[in-house]
Amino acid sequence: MKVLKRSLKRSNEYYARATKVIMDGTQLYSKGTKINVQGVSPIYLQRGKGCHVWDVDGTEYIDYGMAVGTLILGYGYPAVNNAIKKQLDEGTNFSLVHPKEVELAELLVEHIPCAEMMRFEKTGSSATTAAIRLARAYTGREKVIRGEYHGWHDWCLANSTHNLGIPKVLQDYVFTGKYNDLESYKMLFEQHGESIAAVITEVIEFEEPKDNFLPKLKELAHKYGALIIFDEVVTGFRFSLGGAQEYFNIVPDLATFGKGMSNGMPISAVTGRAEIFDKVHEHIFISTTFGGECLSLAAAIANVTELHEKKVPDYLWDIGKKLKNDFNKLINEHELQEYIQCIGLPPRLNLSYKASDKITAIELKSLGMQEMVKRGILFTWTIFTSFSLHDKDIEKTMEAFDDSLKVCKQAIQDNDVKKYLEGKPIVPIL
Ligand code: PMP
């Protein structure tokens, strides 16, 4: 497959301007330059349709980032766009609450197993922060165990490598457990059991839960009087309409939703047992001006309705299964399975690269991404499928992937990635 003739001129021009006025040139590290191959990957995207995007220099790509997983339906999806346009004419935000808040809440109660009561927020971070505050208020305890990244707020990142600006004292209030490693949680509960308010974890990232990890974790948290919170910011509406909790058939006390909720509009939710909200609501303060912003509410209602009517999560499973099989088939044909593998369950996939003799895993992943982007396939850190991804897109992707694997294999055989890497290797975020 031919390498595209591309220009990054306008991308680079915008970036040069951005670095003077925007810290790191981005609002989200996952969209920033460091997480892509600098010098090869476009920096600025201008528009999108379905699963295709066009950068500011006019090059078209098949997008596997799908706006950081927020677009389950796809760019410019008519049912959602029309709902937003209709709402725009009626008003974007009001002086009093709006009926769409009730409609959306009822819709989520209908579909999400743990959802009895909720609050809307704007971002995944503010939803998880609200969940932690609810859990602390409900249990009267202050410490939490987190699994992965649950947002940029103080409570979560206090014990991370990027904790500059966060009061040191908060490091005593958050611990990290390891997915599928119940012992790591048991040890933390044995040490701090009396003061743990909640465990917050993703239901699944790429590794499948083993040995009944999720029910055992829930049981452990409850044994010590802590709540279990599922962070479904990524998995929600994707693994099943009711989230990964529905797929794995395990109901948490609280759960957070965000990315997949509204096909790209800024809205998130914290939801769970009504009794938790009822107990604390008079003395807790969770309140935000744009929580009832109506374009996002309208988009979310249209999105969830469409996901339900078109059985979109089933489609994500089917198309994701095909994508994963096709990736791994080609990897096997090139005898690269020792180094490269498509991992995860179909609604949330990733290409995992392993180090060879003198090539780090990150360098090899960078090379793989570089060769795809040169051929019009935009791979980001994670691969997100959508309702707009079709067989013909996958066919094109595989043509590019075949070439990308040839280059990776050559680099491994030569034990030299620098000869092939045309830009800077990506830098993981946290
Ligand atoms: N939870 C998870 C699991 C996430 O992946 C993210 C963001 N990637 C967040 C929370 C935070 O969401 P936001 O960036 O919308 O604040």
How far is 145 from 221, CA to CA, in rounded Å?
10
| pLDDT over 90 (residue 299) | yes
How far is 138 from 198, CA to CA, in rounded Å?
10
Q: Which pLDDT score is estimated for 105?
A: 98
Question: Once rounded to an integer, what is the mean pLDDT over residues 208-222?
Answer: 98
Q: Which pLDDT score is estimated for 102?
A: 98
Q: Which pLDDT score is estimated for 430?
A: 85
| pLDDT over 90 (residue 329) | yes
Q: Which pLDDT score is estimated for 381?
A: 82
User: Which residues 6+ apart lie within 8 Å of 373 measured at CB?
Assistant: 36, 37, 40, 41, 42, 61, 379
Residues pairing with 176 in the sheet: 146
Nearest protein CA to atom 14 of ligand 1, as residue:
124
Residue found under tokens 């670095």: 19
C-alpha to C-alpha distances, 102 to 107, 109, 114, 120, 170, nearest whole angstrom: 9, 10, 17, 11, 36
How far is 86 from 301, CA to CA, in rounded Å?
13
Question: Once rounded to an integer, what is the mean pLDDT over residues 291-317?
Answer: 98
How far is 104 from 302, CA to CA, in rounded Å?
9
| pLDDT over 90 (residue 411) | yes
| pLDDT over 90 (residue 171) | yes
The rounded percent of the chain whose pLDDT value lies above 70 is: 100
| pLDDT over 90 (residue 380) | no
Query: What band does 1 get if pLDDT is binned at 50, 70 and 90?
Result: confident
**Which residue type occupies 190?**
E
Instruction: For the chain, list the domains and their CATH numbers.
Output: 9-75+312-414 (3.90.1150.10), 93-292 (3.40.640.10)
- Sequence-distant contacts of 305-313: CB under 8 A, at least 24 apart: 305/79, 305/107, 306/73, 306/77, 306/79, 306/80, 307/72, 307/73, 307/237, 307/241, 308/111, 308/241, 310/387, 312/72, 312/73, 312/387, 313/237, 313/238, 313/239, 313/240, 313/241, 313/347
Q: How far is the CA of 234 from the centre of ligand 1 (A)?
A: 7
Tens of pLDDT, residues 236-245: 999 999 999 9
What is the model's pTM? 0.97
Nearest protein CA to atom 12 of ligand 1, as residue:
124
How far is 274 from 76, CA to CA, in rounded Å?
35
Asked if 97 and 288 count as a contact pair (C-beta separation under 8 A), the reply is no
Tens of pLDDT, residues 96-114: 999 999 999 999 999 999 9
How far is 282 from 313, CA to CA, in rounded Å?
37
Nearest protein CA to atom 5 of ligand 1, as residue:
234
Given ligand 1 and candidates 29, 259, 348, which is best to mutate, with the most ligand atoms within 8 Å of its CB?
259
Q: Is the CB of 147 under 6 A from ligand 1?
A: no
Question: Once rounded to an integer, what is the mean pLDDT over residues 189-216?
Answer: 97
Query: What band does 73 get if pLDDT is binned at 50, 70 and 90?
Result: very high
Q: Which pLDDT score is estimated for 281?
A: 97
Q: How far is the CA of 123 from the centre of ligand 1 (A)?
A: 7
Tens of pLDDT, residues 150-165: 999 999 999 999 999 9
| Torsion angle of the four alpha carbons 272, 276, 278, 281, in this order, in degrees rounded to the nearest 10 | -100
Q: How far is the CA of 314 from the centre of ligand 1 (A)?
A: 24
Given ligand 1 and candidates 27, 121, 150, which is best to mutate, with the most ligand atoms within 8 Å of its CB?
150
Asked if 27 and 55 count as a contact pair (C-beta separation under 8 A), the reply is no
Q: Enumerate the active-site residues.
A: 149, 231, 259
Q: Is the CB of 233 under 6 A from ligand 1?
A: yes
Q: Is 49 left (phi over 0), alpha (psi -120 to 50) or beta?
A: beta
Query: What band does 429 get if pLDDT is binned at 50, 70 and 90?
Result: confident
Nearest CA-CA partner of 253 in 290, 291, 201, 207? 201
How far is 195 from 71, CA to CA, in rounded Å?
39
